[in-house]
A and B are shown apart, each in its own frame.
Chain A
């Protein structure tokens, strides 16, 4: 039973409480236990309310943890022991994991039967990885999914490292007075050698708008993964998904793992795999967010197949507005990877004049190639 009566002495009961909180997933280090003890010894323990507030400020690191803490505290330090210990640990956790996997498979593979009908290229042997790099996301067979995930992670990580290196290597810069003075001290005031400091790489903000409508189903999972990879390079990333409505997903990127996020997004929005009204969504973006997220040092990336059921005029008008506010507009279209593709869909056609770069994003290799646009901004 977790109750202070079970421990003898102040020290043991405080430590017992730390143990209880730890088992309820509050992150409590040794220093916290020590501080809790100090708080108790310095008189806070004489008043239960003060003691609770004091320990809460030591143990919690955000507001959300308060409720867990309060429950632990009330159980552990309650005056009388009662028989029925409330169960504080819920089963919710395991459920989430299960659901997550399902939803990943759901989005990752799109419609299973359709994939089979499409007749994906069978690849085998040593060069499987090599060919998977070039396989269109929509044609990945079910059995290859795990392999593909692994490969995607590896390649995207590489991309990330390379991007980082490239952005750092810059030759011009201001004179570094500190280093210059040190180096030239022996020459008096004649500075033979001017030492420069590299410019700190200026953080670009990246705004990503991902189309998650039905027609993009087979791509959206990998593209979402791509967004997650970019987040570690572009700290300032703003991401949105859209189909008939716009949904801001930045908070998911910042806080949670991709699997968890997929689940949350699925429950948060009912527009996964629905129709597409790009113009309207961009209008929503311009109205609500563009002033906040776009600036002269931002790149806007739109990931969409351009198959639009809305008005092309609206699309082109809204794109124009975005173009004015951002330094680069990149449109990535998975369909462009298909042989003989031409941007004939009226939405795509209307968009073309307003974008700077039009590229494909249908397999891992094409995603890797984006490096050149992302590193020279």
Chain B
């Protein structure tokens, strides 16, 4: 994706987002008995967002295509980042079911084995080692409660 295309898409998304904010704000009272209502501030925020986002889109139309082409490679490696993010979200989803320790080990194994192509044994070692360290520092030493699985840790 070129930087101009990125600006165009992000500008369009922000225009849509601004319109959403305005649509919610107009349903809230602009003026209340005690002064400005709960819709007052978000309404102006939404208007500001739409205006600036529209300007961003306009500016991206105006800028030269040649300039944009030079920055076009930065999105190709995004798949790995999104895989890492998805793994983290899965680990978060598992926190309440299997506890912090195990979900963290699973996340670590995925990051090291699937994304980094390193030996599974190393991944298990790092995952378990860090999980134990977290338990000792936070749970034992600092008395911080972490999400527990049905087996109690």
Partners in one complex: no
Give A contacts to B, CB under 8 Å.
none
